[in-house]
Chain A
């Protein structure tokens, strides 16, 4: 029986966006935390830490997200750890995000002029104080644009978790389309919801960037 694309189908798609949002938020929080540690390790003075972080970034960036997803969902359940799909999805997206955010933030930290390290060291600051008061505040400005770019990617890439049965935005669209055969309406709606999520993020970033730059020579 073919259903028509009516209000209830529309609401189903829109409400499933909450899983897309939740997944983005969780992977961003977890991946951001891990990514920050990766960035610090990557710019550490200790060679083993740097190598470890570089290895992590290289490995994760070299593996498709899909494989991370399969590994954490099927792989771990084979090993006896039974993970609900949404948890497996969040964990694998967080791991994926940690490598990319770690690399973006490493670049931002290293973009701060080396003389800033020297000047703060000469004022007897510890390494932690140099990061906290001199390097990171400047690195943040540099990091805003590429970080937001990545977050927008992340929102869209969450669609991949539909494969292990999480009914987020893309999966909801697929389900509705199978029942209604109204692909233009269905996927038009899905695309519009993705856009409504991503557009404000880009806007916010532009405002934030403008504000940070204005502060510097205001």
Chain B
């Protein structure tokens, strides 16, 4: 059974339809990159998958949790879906370790000792084991983003969503975050990422989806999408986007 199943999803902001019937399947252990121009609906699609945006039509199912236009079952679904944002969004009033332990403790009801262990494991996974007691404000952007990844990991999600997570970082810091993501992929995490890092998508993603004008325009193994694009739109996008 696929981890994520998206069928005929439509989404409008007012009169503007940004998703015009999206179908998408993510199998366990797959890493799927979503590329496309700004405004092509790729971030919106990601945000719909964990219910941060409601949908007008269609169906989204994540590891057995159904999400439809009514929005029921949202919290159960979110327990299985981690998301990392462009702007990190750590909780500034909590130390790094507390940031990570909070949701397992209050949402999953995990005991203090286990929450701490989860947090330490997650921090180790992103290479920041020694920053448990640090304040978010004292970390670099790249470190904050890795803590945000650890915070999601501690919930032990079935799938992780990454929404342009390196767009706010300079090249050096981008590298450390991408390395972290690549390691996650190697450890078998199912991942869906919206990105402008074409080289990373090509190397790490098993499949790449090109979105254009609110539709899945072209989809296939990353090697083929980047090596032999079929549609003129994708060719043009890669021609200007990949130097």
Interface residues of A (CB under 8 A from B): 113, 115-116, 118-126, 129, 133-134, 137-138, 141, 215-218
Contacts and interface: CB of A to CB of B under 8 A. Distances in A.
Given A122-B82, A125-B103, 17 more contacts: A113-B89, A115-B87, A115-B89, A116-B91, A118-B89, A119-B90, A122-B78, A122-B152, A123-B151, A123-B155, A124-B75, A124-B76, A124-B103, A124-B155, A126-B75, A138-B91, A217-B137
B209 interface: no
A92 to B, nearest CB: 36
B85 interface: yes
Contact of A216 (B76, B82, B93): B93
Contact of A133 (B79, B82, B106): B106
Contact of B85 (A119, A126, A129, A137): A119
A68 to B, nearest CB: 36
B168 interface: no
A122 B50 contact: yes
B85 A124 contact: no
B85 A115 contact: yes
Nearest to A125: B107
A153 B85 CA distance: 43
Given A124-B79, A138-B92, A217 B102 contact: no
A126 B151 CA distance: 17
A137 B137 CA distance: 16
Contacts of B83: 122
B217 interface: no
B205 to A, nearest CB: 22
B92 A218 contact: no
Interface string B150-164: 011001000000000
A121 B135 contact: no
B52 interface: yes
Q: What are the nearest 6 A-B pairs in CB distance?
A: A119-B89, A124-B78, A123-B103, A115-B89, A124-B79, A217-B137
A216 B91 CA distance: 10
B240 interface: no
A59 to B, nearest CB: 34
13 contacts: A119-B91, A122-B78, A124-B76, A124-B79, A125-B107, A133-B106, A137-B93, A138-B91, A216-B93, A216-B135, A217-B137, A217-B138, A218-B135
